[in-house]
Amino acid sequence: MKYNKMKHAICFLLTIAICLPIIIMAGCNGGESGDKKSAPEAFYDAVVESQSRLDIIADAIYTNWYNAIYKDMFGKSIDLAIASALSSNSENVDFIESNEVEIQSLYKKARDSEFKDEVKDVMNAYSDYYEFVINVSGSFNSYSSSKETLKKELANALKHLSMEL
C-alpha cells in the first residue's frame, strides 16, 4: 500500500515536472510573439487580404471588357461585361467591401504609429486601387493602363511598409 502511494506521488510529481515547463513556455511565447498584432501590422495584413482580391476582380473586369470589344462577347456591351465580372466575383467584392470598414479603422490607429508615412502611402495607394476596381469608369485603354500602374503602386507601398515592420 505504501508502495502504491509512493508510486502515485512520483507519477503526480513527474506530471507536474513535465507539464509545468510547457505551460510556462506557452505563457511566455504568447506574451512575446502574441496573437495580438500592432496596429500597423494588422493594417498591413488587412490591406494585403483585400489587395489579392482586388487583383482578381481587376483582371476579370479587364478580360471581360477585352472580350466584349474584341471578341464580340456580352453582346458587345461593356456594361454587361463589367457587371458579369463583378457578379462572378461577388464573394470577393463582398469581402473587400466588408474589409473596407476594418481597414479604415486600423488606418486610424496605425497612422499614429512610428510608421505613419509608410501607412499613409499604403492607404493612399489602396484607396486609389479600391475606387478604380469597385467603381469602374473610363475607356478600355485608360482602364488597362491604369490597372497595372495602380497595382504596382499598392504593391510597392506595401513592400516599403513590410520592410519597416
Q: Where are the domains of the chain?
A: 1-36, 39-164
pTM of the model: 0.77
Give the chain's length.
165
* Alpha-carbon separation of residue 128 from 92, 132, 159 (angstroms): 18, 6, 17
Distance CA 128, CA 132 (A): 6
Per-residue pLDDT of the chain (165 residues; tens, 9 = 90+): 555 555 554 545 445 545 444 545 444 444 444 458 899 999 999 999 999 999 999 999 999 999 999 999 999 999 999 999 999 999 999 999 999 999 999 999 999 999 999 999 999 999 999 999 999 999 999 999 999 999 999 999 999 999 999
How many CB atoms within 10 Å of residue 90?
A: 10
Lookup: cell for 41: 501590422
